[in-house]
Chains A and B, each alone.
Chain A
């Protein structure tokens, strides 16, 4: 009986396993394989093995380290801001008010839009001459003349972070709200009756009990931010100040047609993100065990 159930289960899993092999496992293995060759994209069948040469080429390239730095700055700052903002908005929307369901749906708008569309809309709002933001800042007296938010190399990463925070905060809000809804109402009632002040209720009840939900949300968002490609690519084209690791790897692979070096760069990206993922998961585990 047991054995038959296992056989049936694997039969049901065959399509999934086949599909994931074709789109994930096999391409990943080929990517690692190509990392050790000098193949070019126009004729991938013609290559020699070059050992670890490509891996060295990548880590000797200062542009690669710039991309790593940008990605890490982008990820840490935007995830931090999203978490704070997401937590604040989730606390607000957790209260009872008229039209709450509709508001919760409406905040999904930035998240449901294609990233390219968000980039275009903000690019228009940030336009140095005709953008609403510069206009508003000048009108309020903060600026004398418009700033080129998306062209100035020293501002571009900040602009990318700003837009990303806008796009992904709704996701954070949803996940944290779901966590808040799991906290039993009675705890708050008990605390209120015993005269525990509001800030203390937030600090000693809400925050610790919402931490698991926040932790999961942070993990997902971090891993997603580390692979970011589209926003920087659309907004900053080839501006090195906003180049992410994914853009660097794709440039080597597609723009320069260098299959070997491009694959080695992708493999580095995989290793870096893998290490960060392992570190984050073990931190979350420790946290859970301690609590």
Chain B
């Protein structure tokens, strides 16, 4: 810094610094526009009347007709409820199972612990289509075909490896002293987990649970395959299969209203938990 400023006069240096800052903010604005404009455009389009839809005004026209008809559509409302049930249940089950497993994998010494972790990681990058036929059969045996519960079951494949991996790395980062004191006092492992570790893991569990929820909420392949009838569909499939009576009657305004609606809760949660999510995602990947 010092060497450089000797070359320039004070005012040139200040100008240069100003240009650098301006460039930085311009770059950030471009990034934001790229990432956010499509969602903004969806909001704009969703509030336009069908006649206005084909005008290119960048401002919303605040007509909520699309939203009103969307919320009077029983299939859409049903899909939202199904998605909420499936995503909530599979995240909850995965959290309980993976907290237990993460404690063993993160803290206890046993042979094969590394092997188990590697298997978990391998399952998380598995192509889902590879288990499709076998899963089809298992779901048939359980009598769950065409029921949202089938998705709760099959989403464990997606969610469990992820939550286990992330929570294991969180537990490894917790200080060990508290636990050791409890162990010497003769506390059982299970009590240590529920009384010493769990209270410390609140934020980690919240962010992992949220990511698990997003994973299940967005899943498409299983939801398309294991659910047959409209009233049992989840949101992504209901939206994916939405078509107008002809190419030219495709209800773009309504589809955009649905897009905005199903994304909004996720976005609010992501903004609230922003810092936690970033640490959760990177804990899963970087420390591996």
Contacts and interface: CB of A to CB of B under 8 A. Distances in A.
A73 interface: no
Interface stretch (B62-70, B119-127, B172-180, B198-206): B119-127
B71 interface: no
A227 to B, nearest CB: 4
A24 to B, nearest CB: 5
A108 B275 CA distance: 11
Given A13-B116, A23-B135, A174-B281, A113 B288 contact: no
**Interface-centre pick from A22, A117, A122, A249 (highest chain B CB count, 10 A):** A117
A186 to B, nearest CB: 14
B255 A15 contact: no
Interface residues of B, number: 91
A174 B38 contact: no
A227 B124 CA distance: 12
B129 A229 contact: yes
A193 to B, nearest CB: 7
A20 interface: yes
Given A114-B235, A246-B129, A125 B38 contact: yes
B101 A97 contact: no
B36 interface: yes
A262 B2 contact: no
A241 interface: no
A27 B142 CA distance: 14
A253 B226 CA distance: 12
Contact of A107 (B32, B38, B101, B256): B32
A277 B130 contact: no
B236 A253 contact: no
**Chain A residues touching B, majority SS:** helix
Contact of B35 (A6, A107, A124): A107
**Interface-centre pick from A12, A34, A120, A259 (highest chain B CB count, 10 A):** A12
Nearest to A246: B129
Interface stretch (A57-65, A76-84, A199-207, A266-274): A266-274
A135 B53 CA distance: 13
Interface string A90-121: 00110101000101111111101111111111
Contacts of B109: 2, 5-6, 9
Nearest to B155: A23
B208 interface: no
Contacts of A277: 125
A16 B262 contact: no
A32 B130 CA distance: 9
B130 A31 contact: yes
B236 A230 contact: yes
**Interface-centre pick from B39, B262, B286 (highest chain A CB count, 10 A):** B286
B240 A116 contact: yes
B125 A224 contact: yes
A141 interface: no
A106 B129 contact: no
A28 B138 CA distance: 11
Contacts of B53: 130
Contacts of B105: 13
A69 interface: no
B157 A23 contact: yes
Contacts of B262: 114, 117
B111 to A, nearest CB: 7
Interface string A3-15: 0011011101101
Contacts of B2: 193
A81 B256 CA distance: 28
B263 A166 contact: no
A75 to B, nearest CB: 12
A166 B34 contact: yes
A9 B113 contact: yes
Contacts of B220: 114-116, 229-230, 233-234
B218 to A, nearest CB: 4
Interface in A188-247: 192-193, 195, 213, 216-217, 220, 223-224, 226-227, 229-230, 233-234, 245-246
Nearest to B25: A97
Contacts of B31: 89, 92-93, 103, 107
Contacts of B123: 20, 24
A124 B252 contact: yes
29 contacts: A12-B100, A12-B108, A15-B97, A16-B120, A16-B160, A23-B154, A27-B131, A29-B134, A31-B132, A41-B136, A44-B137, A97-B28, A105-B274, A106-B32, A106-B35, A106-B36, A109-B270, A113-B218, A116-B236, A117-B262, A125-B41, A166-B34, A170-B35, A178-B285, A216-B285, A229-B220, A230-B220, A234-B240, A250-B221
Given A10-B104, A135-B56, A175-B286, 18 more contacts: A9-B109, A12-B100, A23-B135, A26-B138, A27-B131, A92-B31, A93-B28, A110-B39, A114-B239, A115-B218, A116-B237, A121-B259, A132-B41, A166-B34, A178-B282, A229-B220, A250-B132, A277-B125
Among all A-B residue pairs, the 10 with the closest Cβ atoms: A27-B134, A30-B134, A227-B127, A105-B274, A12-B104, A27-B131, A6-B110, A178-B282, A230-B220, A16-B101
